[in-house]
Chain A
């Protein structure tokens, strides 16, 4: 396989994985975010528990943001962070927040 074709195939594989994860995790994340928010605003709970629920909500929102970002993968820029399983994607370069017109 030509190296350019291989790159395209790898990119397509990454986009397929991202799309699948986004599709499968959307509803579970919606439930987790919804219930953690409802708990965080529940005045019957002690304040310290409401703070924990709010922290859970923030983390779920972060996870949702990462998933959304993965849907924007346009190229593969890898970064070796020492994981035995291999490199990870450098999201800032692989999935830019804004896509240039060029």
Chain B
């Protein structure tokens, strides 16, 4: 019943990147964010694939467990990648787990959201991040060598 066919047309110049280990979670996150009329790319939690997204994201949603070595590698890869290093990020974390929340903060999370969560909460967070952060084609982005595709 929930079909992307009926979602608002994506705005080509606003992109979100979903990074996650579970395909089912990535699918649902895409559906939630598509409700904001965002173009949504997704990559698996294999950190070697983190350069495969099609557009420079304005926000990244991360659903990987830092308790595993691969999860930690993904978190660090996001911060090392010039295209995602300064992009605000929402890290989905296990509710009540202070260790994971601390690790997410160290890894550069802008916001931590406890799982499980209501889709409207994620949409509100992403909307706030998009409205409060500088688009990638702003002067700061040019200085760091990152240009938004729409500005090329």
Contacts and interface: CB of A to CB of B under 8 A. Distances in A.
B116 A26 contact: yes
B94 A26 contact: yes
A33 to B, nearest CB: 4
A38 B32 contact: yes
B22 A27 contact: yes
B2 A35 contact: yes
Contacts of B2: 35, 38-39, 42
Given A22-B94, A31-B24, A44-B6, A39 B116 contact: no
Nearest to A72: B96
Interface in B72-91: none
A81 B14 CA distance: 55
A11 interface: no
Select the residue from B1, B31, B35, B120 with max chain A CB neighbours within 10 A: B1
A72 B97 CA distance: 11
A32 B117 CA distance: 10
B contact face: mostly helix, strand, loop, or mixed: mixed
Q: Interface range on chain B: under 10, 10 to 19, 20 to 34, or 35 or more?
A: 20 to 34
Contacts of A35: 2, 28
A37 B119 CA distance: 7
Q: How large is the interface on A (under 10, 10 to 19, 20 to 34, 35 or more residues)?
A: 20 to 34
B116 A34 contact: yes
Contacts of B96: 22, 68, 71-72
A64 B119 CA distance: 15
Contact of B25 (A31, A57, A68): A31
Given A33-B116, A44-B6, A61-B116, 12 more contacts: A22-B96, A23-B94, A26-B116, A30-B25, A30-B92, A31-B25, A37-B118, A38-B28, A38-B35, A39-B1, A39-B2, A68-B96
Interface of B: 1-2, 6, 22, 24-25, 28, 31-32, 35, 92, 94-96, 115-120
